[in-house]
Amino acid sequence: MATRPKGAGSLYYSADGRWRGTIEAGWTATGTRRRITVSAKTKAEAQRKMRDREREIARNGIPTEGSRRATTVKAWAEEWLPLQERTLRPQSYASTRSAVTKWIIPTIGHVKLATLNPGHIRSVHNAVRDAGLKPSSAVRTHAVLMALLNDALTEGGHTVPDAPLKVSGPKAGKSTRDAIPLEHALIVLQAALARPDASRWVAALLQALRPAEARGLTWAHIDFDADTIDISWQLKPVPYKTPRDRTSGFRVPDDYEATHLVDSYHLVRPKTDSGQRIIPMVPWMKAALLAWREAQGGSPYDLVWCRADGRPLTDKQDVAAWRTLCETAGVPAYDLYEARHTAATLLRKAGVDDETIIAIMGHATILSTKAYLHSDTERAREALQKVAQALQLEA
């Protein structure tokens, strides 16, 4: 096996499940070796980061300890964000960048990394809270801040005191999402059954599809012979490298699997492997989808639910259609995700075991979701049939 030349640093797999590389960076004032450390989820990514740091050192020289100690939060954040752009999913990067530019830099950007204290961390928490944002925004901003500071320490070779890194994050508020009451779900379904696209809303209430999964479902992933639906893709917009400039290409991070459809819309893989799953169709759903396929008129992108011209539905269009349905049914305008929560609640009320619920919903689990459903499709089918009965959906 090839080894790195002596003095060129080392690469190893750490106990926390990440690959770490160290680069020799001269000596400290006390005579000990200085090392710059990088980390990544994969060996290839860690090797790339090491090469990038080595090129930076070759170009600019080894930074002195004094220059590192003088680095501000803002200076490091501006160096750190482009690195995140290459690895984070587009939506994750957008929220990360927002946390940095809206809250972290304006609040503590002027502070030197080496002089940070717990009060600085709490001042960021307070800035988000005082703006009246939801607790989840403060939790997310804290997570971004901790990632930024830990990377400054392990990858940037900066000095960051221990105390601010140990500050606990804000508590997450109680989720306002809940399952739709069964009596309201039944009313919504009755209103949906009067529409040709009834299967779209049953997909959420019965089959537990996430909105992006439903918008990204293609006919090729529905097996009418095996009576199964393969949930392997989601419909997501991928940002252009230059905002609103379609000629600039798309900002696709490393190892991000995406298939371009039209405009900025792509079919992308779910965030986790557990999101990819195969779920059975109950007889009612199969019949509804077959009828919808005849009525739909087709899509050049093979999409099951789409605009009248076959183009992808936007998130706003999907939500607007759902709210119109709720209004027609005379029930509150529930969050579309609450339809999915209803499926989980009905599965549990029907006495379905946790493993089957996890597999149908696509939640993270130690089991391989696809393998589980392949090996026990009938158990999942029986579970969904119980939900169909609760929703009064009979073939």
Which CATH number do you get for residue 286?
Answer: 1.10.443.10
Residues 206 and 110 in one domain: no
DSSP 8-state code for residue 244 = T
What tens-digit pLDDT sequence spans the chain (395 residues)?
445 444 456 888 877 677 888 887 766 555 666 677 788 888 888 888 888 878 877 776 665 555 556 889 999 999 999 888 888 888 889 899 999 999 999 999 999 999 999 999 999 999 999 999 988 899 999 999 999 999 998 877 788 898 999 999 888 766 556 778 888 888 888 898 888 888 999 888 878 888 999 999 999 999 999 989 999 899 999 988 888 888 888 888 877 889 999 999 999 988 766 567 888 888 888 888 999 999 888 899 999 999 999 999 999 999 999 999 999 999 999 988 888 888 778 777 777 777 777 777 775 543 333 433 344 566 677 777 777 777 776 65
Residues 384 and 253 in one domain: yes
- HSE of 85, CA atoms in CB hemisphere, 13 A: 15
Quote the longest CA-to-CA distance of the chain. 79
Residue 62: per-residue pLDDT: 62
Residue 145: per-residue pLDDT: 96
DSSP 8-state code for residue 308 = T
Give the pTM: 0.64
Assigned domain for 395 exists? no
| CATH at 125 | 1.10.150.130
Last residue of a domain, one of 140, 174, 208: 174
Assigned domain for 145 exists? yes
Instruction: Tell me if 299 sits within 8 A of 265, measured CB to CB.
Output: no
Closest CA to 389 of 283, 234, 255, 274: 283
Last residue of a domain, one of 114, 147, 174: 174
Residues 356 and 265 in one domain: yes
Environment class of 141 (CB within 10 Å of its CB; exposed 0-12, middle 13-18, buried 19+): buried
Residues 212 and 325 in one domain: yes
Assigned domain for 33 exists? yes
Instruction: Tell me if 216 sits within 8 A of 233, measured CB to CB.
Output: yes
Residue 61: per-residue pLDDT: 66
Question: What's the rounded Cα separation, in Å, for the pair 370 and 232?
Answer: 10
Residue 371: per-residue pLDDT: 38
Residue 349 sits at φ, ψ, to 5 deg, of: -65, -30
Residues 242 and 369 in one domain: yes
User: Which residue reads 């269009």 in tokens?
Assistant: 317
Residue 95: per-residue pLDDT: 92
Residues 47 and 189 in one domain: no
Instruction: Tell me if 318 sits within 8 A of 215, measured CB to CB.
Output: yes
254 by DSSP, 3-state: which?
A: coil
Residue 223: per-residue pLDDT: 94
Residue 22 is encoded by which pair of tokens?
């160290």
Residues 324 and 350 in one domain: yes
Instruction: Tell me if 305 sits within 8 A of 215, measured CB to CB.
Output: yes
Residue 109 is encoded by which pair of tokens?
């950007």
Residues 128 and 205 in one domain: no
198 by DSSP, 3-state: which?
A: helix
230 by DSSP, 3-state: which?
A: strand
Residue 6: per-residue pLDDT: 46
Residue 73: per-residue pLDDT: 95
Last residue of a domain, one of 10, 30, 62: 62
Residue 368: per-residue pLDDT: 34
Assigned domain for 72 exists? yes
Assigned domain for 74 exists? yes
Q: How many domains does the chain have?
A: 3
Residues 148 and 275 in one domain: no
Residue 5: per-residue pLDDT: 47
Q: Which helix (H) or strand (E) holds 37?
A: strand 33-40
Residues 159 and 125 in one domain: yes
Residues 167 and 42 in one domain: no
Residues 58 and 70 in one domain: no
Domain of residue 10 covers 1-62
- Cα dihedral 46, 49, 51, 55 in deg (nearest 10): -160
Looking at residue 51, its amino acid is: R
Assigned domain for 275 exists? yes
For residue 24, what are the β-bridge partners? 35
User: In this structure, which long-range contacts are made by residues 7-15, counting pairs with CB atoms below 8 Å and at least 24 apart in sequence?
Assistant: 8/54, 9/35, 9/50, 11/43, 11/46, 11/47, 11/50, 13/43, 14/39
Assigned domain for 76 exists? yes
